[in-house]
Amino acid sequence: MRRRYQLVAQSAGQFAVPAVSFSLAFADGSRRVTQPVNLTPASFTTTLPKGLEGLGYMLVTSDFRLQQSIDRKLSNLQVGDALVRTLEQRAVGLKATQLPVLRFADTPGLATYPEAPSFNETIGERSAASFATQTQRVTYVLERAGGYELPALELRWLDSRTGAMRTARAPAVKFEVQGAAFSEPEPARPSATLPVQPATDKLPLTARLRLLAARFWPWLAGIAFLLLARRKRMTR
């Protein structure tokens, strides 16, 4: 049995692979045998190829492509419309997680809604090469009239066949938006109505008693006055 692991350095520096020890059990005829296995440590040093310094990512491949598409025609656009910009990276011999995630700057007059990137890896059959893809979509909602330009996007990569630095580029997207500025609808103004008495069944007990006392206090005071006057007459 053989198992292979591929180590890919994502930055320049010195790396150490620690020692690994484990036991391997197998059958030898009718006997069960346990064999200890000890792997020695290893270390290696990597450097960034010239031209990849300061990029924040590393693309070394024999073939890399950056493709762009827009989901609609860029004519007769109106305020309130939306368009989707899709960008796909494709690299031979790399893992999908090695492809950099693109960043989209905000554009005044456009609401920007980027989606999380999706990844896919295809293993080549027979002599076909394996490749990875990453797809990113961003939706732009057109909020104001005017002329707009979504900036071009560039990714630098090292051609592993020739050692030359190359640039993959998605061109800028220009369009015009017609119509008045988009605005949120005004909230409805409340109509003038008489104040509503609070529902007493939802108030605490002490609050209910105070409310009842405030409502019936004049009646209670009048009844008390009449009773007191009647008592005085009876005592004369």
Two structure tokens written together for 125: 């059959």
Tell me: the pLDDT tens digits for 102-122? 999 899 999 999 999 999 998
**Average pLDDT in the 155-176 region?**
94
Q: pLDDT higher for 137 or 13? A: 137
Chain Cα centroid distance, residue 148: 25
**Rounded CA Rg of the chain:** 38
**Can you give the pTM of this predicted structure?**
0.60
- Say what the pLDDT of residue 101 is: 93
Tell me: the pLDDT tens digits for 120-129? 998 866 667 7
Two structure tokens written together for 89: 């990276």
**What is the C-alpha to C-alpha distance for residues 52 and 150, in angstroms, rounded to an integer?**
26
Listed by start position, the domains of the chain span 67-151+174-178
Q: pLDDT higher for 180 or 217? A: 180
- Say what the pLDDT of residue 20 is: 87
